[in-house]
Amino acid sequence: MKNFRWKMFMIMALMSLSGNAWSDTGHGTEKSHQMDQMNDDKMSGMMREGMLAMPQMDPARGRALFASKGCVVCHSVNGIGGEDAPALDASSMPPMMNPFEFAAKMWRGAEAMVALQREELGEPIELTGQELADIIAFVHSHKEQTIFSIADVPERMKKLMDHSSTGEHHYGVKD
């Protein structure tokens, strides 16, 4: 039921962005069978209406991506992770957030985030739209965050989080 409400919220948020966002795409209201088939093939697993597609957001995948992609090196969840960027605890997130607003906040901080990623990870993090959707779902999921632990963090990321010269680790453990 919660997932359904989230999907409905997303549809309503998109519709409110431009009034007639679904039908005013510059493409006629009649779609060819070929276009329908292309959409079916390329967009399975996505919500879609007109020419806009919303990925299905999976907080469990987001939990794994948050750790494996390196978000955890700078951001923390439940005290596990870095301190160079804001904590992303679900308890401090707005109860309903438009994921486009989340992406817009990331965009506004992109220059600083990329600089930190180069410094901490050696290169910027690459995310697909699906991966970003899943990470957004994770940072808003109390359920997935309660099971997030240091065991979710790959060794490479643990090493990057380790500040052995100060005796501190970014995953809630002190030497």
**The pLDDT of residue 17:** 41
Residue type, 60: A
Contact between 161 and 72 (Cβ < 8 Å) = yes
**The pLDDT of residue 45:** 56
**The pLDDT of residue 55:** 87
Q: Are strands 76-77 and 80-81 parallel, antiparallel or unpaired?
A: antiparallel
**The pLDDT of residue 167:** 45
Model confidence over 145-161: pLDDT tens digits?
Answer: 999 999 999 999 999 88
Model confidence over 116-145: pLDDT tens digits?
Answer: 888 888 898 999 999 999 999 999 999 999
Contact between 111 and 27 (Cβ < 8 Å) = no
Q: How far is CA 110 from CA 36, 104, 125, in A?
A: 35, 9, 11
**The pLDDT of residue 84:** 86
Task: Check whether 71 has a pLDDT greater than 50.
Answer: yes
Residue 48: pLDDT band with limits 50, 70, 90: low
**The pLDDT of residue 23:** 34
Question: For residues 149 and 171, what is the distance between their CA atoms, to the nearest angstrom?
Answer: 9
